Amino acid sequence: MLVKNNFSKNFRLRNKKDFQNLKVNSKKYSSSHFRVYSKKNSSEFSRISFSVSRKCGNAVKRNNIKRILKEAFRISKYKYLGYDALVVINFNRSKEENFNSKLKDEFDKFLNFKG
């Protein structure tokens, strides 16, 4: 199956059942900027979702954080490993200087570690 290099709906966790399934017996990966809950799925590609609290800033800042992480996921090999993942951003660190670049660097390390 040929998959385009984009972030289509196939790569997103979308319904409540998927999120509840992910919370049960999932592996947790933590860093200073985020926490990831991941679990192997039965598909040939990974699905991911991002949770960014309002405490991280206004809608523009929250959407920018999600855009940065989606792009990192889109170009990674993790996309084809067959995992479901929920990324929860740590709002306590979101106010620090250069948060976006530090977050992207740590997220890239996570994706390369898994990939």
Q: Is the pLDDT of residue 96 over 90?
A: no
Residue 110 sits in which domain range? Answer: 11-114
Q: Which of the four pLDDT bands, split at 50, 70 and 90, describes residue 6?
A: low
| CATH assignment of the domain containing 32 | 3.30.230.10
Q: Is residue 3 part of a domain?
A: no
pLDDT at 106: 87
13-69 tens-digit pLDDT? 888 988 888 888 899 988 888 999 999 988 888 899 999 989 888 999 899 999 999
Taking the C-alpha atoms of residue 21 and residue 4, their distance in angstroms, rounded to an integer, is: 27
Q: Is residue 2 part of a domain?
A: no
Q: Is residue 6 part of a domain?
A: no
Q: Which residues of 46-58 are buried (b: 16+ CB within 10 A; e: fewer)?
A: bbbbbebeeebbe
Q: How many domains does the chain have?
A: 1
Q: Strand pairing partners for 19?
A: none
Q: Is residue 37 part of a domain?
A: yes
Q: Which of 36, 14, 26 is nearest to 86 (CA)?
A: 36
Find the range with the poorest average confidence among 2-11, 17-26, 28-37, 106-115.
2-11
